């Protein structure tokens, strides 16, 4: 077996855990990163995911999981600080830059991501994606939003309902 | 139906998000926009009513200049929200909303700021854009009175925005209020904004406290008031315990608020960028050891029985911070 204790004696190497995606790909990450997921955190605190055992994630495929972990690894140091006190403006700017870049992805990936973030209870990621989706539809007309989010064109019946709605909530369209 | 091909199936997925995630998405939209998403599909019409936030944006503020106009739009948003049976609503004013239990109001980039730093506006200076725009009566409660039946209120605004302070000066009574979340707007300039990045959650005694806070030029002497704090919990979220926080602690301790009713939590990392979510999500945050120690040192100022403080510290260490992780129950 590879020597797990390759660290500097006192603390040793960071604890690693293995996550297994729905398509059976194994991902080895630091426990601190995986612990951004409230769901995983409990398992990891109980000592799960180490050694040969992995934590199976039947709802998350490998493409999504690698993306999720990319986020977790980036955000883990900040989360470990427990709060803002030690974060410099540079750190924050860097995280923000990363976040912006991170969600600059295809819609289907956004969808998988927000579902995964929800299942794994990674609040920051869920908010990040939700905000991205909100940005995508911000300032668009209803028809443009429909197209952006991939709704089919409205049936005449739906159109009638919309018109009725616009009458009822006229104040929002003033 | 079956045109399009495979591309459509992919594109459709975002529209297929479960309701609660959709609401999360909509909570990032200005509320008026969120309302407009009702026209998107059959599933959408009810979504915005469950969205946990009311967002009034700068664009809204420009369009609905002044607090009373802004008020109207907030009224509308509140009126139509889910918890309110629609047939109960007769008038689009924020006068009384007896069914509203839980309200989150965040004023973002409101124009209702006084350039002369009058805490509750009304500086009388005609060149002051914010105060000049006030076109309602002096004793009018713009927003808060209507929310007086709420049991839980979150009122967030930037410190300069005076609407909430102004409203509180009218001393609305919150008979049912159990939890109130505020940010730094509740701390006024002539007290050195002592609670800057702090959140407080007050109990029933709340409204009379703030009466003094908002009075222009009032000396900050809460000791004059006799409050009954037995059902009262104070919760503060802050970066570190600085003088402003100490001042708050001092004030509440002087009322005899028992220690176990005070909770102090650190601000979440993403405070700047995700203000809304972090304030309202109630997520768990890890404490750092130094933080706790600082905190207890600060506290020892306020509690003569230092040994109690010391023993609390021991408990904290013994429990490896776990016990305070979620609730910070001292």
Using a CB-CB cut-off of 8 Å, the residues of chain A touching B284 are 38
Answer yes or no: are the C-beta atoms of B76 and B92 closer than 8 Å: yes
d(CA A45, CA A52): 17
> Within a domain: residue B147?
yes
Say whether both B45 and B57 belong to one domain. Answer: no
Say whether both B27 and B39 belong to one domain. Answer: yes
pLDDT at B130: 66
Lowest-confidence region among A90-99, A147-156, B157-166: B157-166
Answer yes or no: are the C-beta atoms of B104 and B56 closer than 8 Å: no
The closest alpha carbon to A110, from A131, A89, A91, A90, belongs to A131
Q: Give the gap in angstroms from C-alpha A85 to the nearest C-alpha of chain B.
A: 6
Q: Categorize the per-residue pLDDT at B149 as very low, low, confident or very high, splitting at 50, 70 and 90.
A: low
> For residue B188, what are its two tokens?
């006024």
User: What angle separates helix A123-137 from helix A62-80, to the nearest 10 degrees?
Assistant: 110
Using a CB-CB cut-off of 8 Å, the residues of chain A touching B287 are 82
- pLDDT for A36-63, tens place per residue? 998 888 888 887 777 667 888 998 999 9
> Within a domain: residue B102?
yes
Strands A26-30 and B262-266: unpaired
Q: Which residue spans within B179-322 are E strands per DSSP?
A: 179-182, 234-238, 262-266
Average pLDDT over residues B79-86: 41
pLDDT at B118: 64
Q: Which of A119-128, B157-166, B201-210, B234-243 has the highest mean pLDDT?
A: A119-128
Q: How many CB atoms lie within 10 A of CB B26?
A: 26
Say whether both B57 and B119 belong to one domain. Answer: yes
Is 50 exceeded by the pLDDT of residue B322?
Answer: no
Answer yes or no: are the C-beta atoms of A130 and B27 closer than 8 Å: yes
Say whether both B129 and B58 belong to one domain. Answer: yes
* Averaged confidence pLDDT in chain A: 79
> For residue B126, what are its two tokens?
């005609």
CB contact under 8 A, A83 and B266: yes
Lowest-confidence region among A13-17, A102-106, A144-148, B145-149: B145-149
Domains and CATH numbers, chain A: 60-138 (3.30.710.10)
Q: Higher pLDDT residue, B93 or B45?
A: B45
Answer yes or no: are the C-beta atoms of B96 and B116 closer than 8 Å: no
Given A81, A149, A154, which is nearest B14 (Cβ)? A149
Say whether both B42 and B99 belong to one domain. Answer: no
> Within a domain: residue B263?
no
> Within a domain: residue B284?
no
A98, A117, A154, A172: best mutation site toward chain B, by most B Cβ within 10 Å? A172
Contact of B65 with chain A, judged by CB distance below 8 Å, is answered with no
> Within a domain: residue B70?
yes
Q: Give the gap in angstroms from C-alpha A172 to the nearest C-alpha of chain B.
A: 5
Share of residues in chain A with pLDDT > 90 (%): 25
Q: Give the gap in angstroms from C-alpha B25 to the nearest C-alpha of chain A.
A: 4
Say whether both B168 and B67 belong to one domain. Answer: yes
> Within a domain: residue B190?
no
The last residue of a domain, from among B52, B69, B97 = B52
Is 90 exceeded by the pLDDT of residue A68?
Answer: yes
Average pLDDT over residues B211-233: 36
User: What angle separates helix A62-80 from helix A107-120, to the nearest 10 degrees?
Assistant: 60
> Within a domain: residue B41?
yes
Count of the separate structural domains present in chain B: 2
Lowest-confidence region among A100-104, A115-119, B148-152: B148-152
Answer yes or no: are the C-beta atoms of B114 and B123 closer than 8 Å: yes
Lowest-confidence region among A3-17, A26-40, A113-127: A3-17
Say whether both B105 and B75 belong to one domain. Answer: yes
Q: Give the DSSP letter of residue B3.
A: -
Say whether both B33 and B114 belong to one domain. Answer: no
**Which range marks the domain in which residue B33 is found?**
19-52
CB contact under 8 A, A138 and B29: yes
Using a CB-CB cut-off of 8 Å, the residues of chain A touching B42 are 158, 161
Say whether both B96 and B139 belong to one domain. Answer: yes
Residue B231 CB partners (closer than 8 Å, separation 6+): B203, B204, B205
Say whether both B87 and B154 belong to one domain. Answer: yes
Is 90 exceeded by the pLDDT of residue B291?
Answer: no
Say whether both B35 and B134 belong to one domain. Answer: no
Phi and psi of A19, rounded to 5°? -115, 140
- pLDDT for A107-137, tens place per residue? 888 888 999 999 999 988 998 998 898 888 7
- pLDDT for B224-274, tens place per residue? 333 344 445 566 665 566 665 666 666 566 656 666 666 666 654 433 333
Q: Categorize the per-residue pLDDT at A65 as very low, low, confident or very high, splitting at 50, 70 and 90.
A: very high
With 0.80 as the threshold, say if the pTM is over it.
no
> For residue A17, what are its two tokens?
């855990």
Average pLDDT over residues B198-213: 31
Is 90 exceeded by the pLDDT of residue B20?
Answer: no
Answer yes or no: are the C-beta atoms of B273 and B225 closer than 8 Å: no
> Within a domain: residue B145?
yes
User: CB contacts < 8 Å between A and B, how many?
Assistant: 139
Q: Higher pLDDT residue, B52 or B211?
A: B52
In Å, how far are B258, B301, B330 from B304, measured between CA atoms?
13, 7, 16
3 state SS of B127 = coil
Say whether both B77 and B166 belong to one domain. Answer: yes
Is 60 exceeded by the pLDDT of residue A141?
Answer: yes
Q: Give the DSSP letter of residue B196.
A: T
Average pLDDT over residues B121-144: 62
CB contact under 8 A, A158 and B287: no
């Amino acid at each position: 077996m590879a020597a797990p204790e390759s660290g500097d004696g006192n603390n040793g190497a960071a604890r690693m855990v293995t996550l297994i995606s729905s398509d059976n790909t194994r991902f080895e990450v630091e426990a601190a990163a995986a612990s951004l997921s409230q769901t995983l955190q409990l398992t990891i605190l109980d000592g799960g995911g180490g050694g040969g055992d992995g934590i199976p994630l039947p709802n998350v495929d490998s493409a999504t999981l690698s993306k999720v972990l990319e986020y977790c690894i980036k955000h883990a140091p900040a989360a470990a600080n427990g709060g803002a006190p030690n974060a410099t403006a540079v750190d924050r700017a860097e995280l923000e830059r990363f976040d912006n870049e991170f969600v600059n992805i295809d819609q289907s990936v956004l969808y998988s991501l927000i579902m995964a973030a929800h299942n794994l209870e990674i609040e920051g990621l869920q908010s990040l994606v939700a905000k991205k989706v909100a940005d995508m539809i911000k300032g668009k007309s209803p028809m443009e939003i429909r197209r952006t989010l991939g709704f089919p064109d409205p049936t005449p019946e739906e159109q009638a309902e919309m018109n009725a709605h616009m009458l009822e909530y006229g104040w929002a369209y003033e | 139906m079956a045109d399009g091909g495979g591309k459509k199936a992919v594109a459709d997925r975002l529209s297929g998000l479960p309701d609660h995630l959709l609401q999360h998405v909509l909570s990032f939209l200005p509320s008026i926009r969120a309302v407009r998403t009702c026209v998107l599909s059959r599933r959408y019409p009810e979504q915005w009513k469950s969205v946990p936030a009311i967002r009034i944006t700068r664009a809204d503020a420009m369009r609905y200049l002044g607090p009373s106009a802004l008020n109207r739009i907030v009224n509308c948003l509140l009126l139509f929200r889910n918890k309110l049976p629609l047939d109960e609503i007769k008038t689009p004013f924020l006068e009384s909303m007896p069914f509203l239990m839980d309200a989150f109001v965040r004023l973002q980039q409101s124009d209702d700021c006084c350039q002369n730093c009058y805490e509750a506006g009304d500086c009388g200076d005609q060149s002051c854009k914010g105060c000049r725009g006030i076109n309602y009566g002096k004793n009018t409660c713009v927003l808060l009175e209507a929310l007086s039946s709420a049991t839980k209120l979150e009122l967030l605004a930037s410190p300069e925005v005076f609407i909430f302070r102004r409203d509180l000066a009218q001393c609305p009574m919150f008979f049912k209020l159990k939890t109130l979340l505020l940010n730094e707007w509740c701390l006024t300039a002539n007290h050195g904004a002592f609670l800057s990045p702090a959140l407080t959650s007050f109990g029933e005694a709340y409204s009379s406290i703030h009466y003094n806070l908002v009075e222009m030029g009032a000396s900050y002497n809460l000791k004059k008031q006799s409050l009954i704090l037995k059902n009262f919990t104070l919760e503060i979220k802050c970066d570190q315990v600085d003088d402003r926080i100490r001042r708050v602690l001092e004030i509440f301790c002087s009322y005899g608020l028992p220690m176990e009713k005070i909770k102090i939590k650190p601000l979440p990392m993403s405070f700047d960028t995700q203000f809304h979510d972090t304030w309202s999500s109630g997520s768990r945050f890890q404490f750092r050891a130094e933080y706790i120690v600082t905190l207890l040192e600060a506290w020892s100022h306020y509690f003569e029985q230092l040994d109690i403080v010391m023993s609390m510290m021991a408990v904290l260490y013994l429990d490896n911070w776990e016990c305070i992780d979620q609730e910070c129950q001292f």
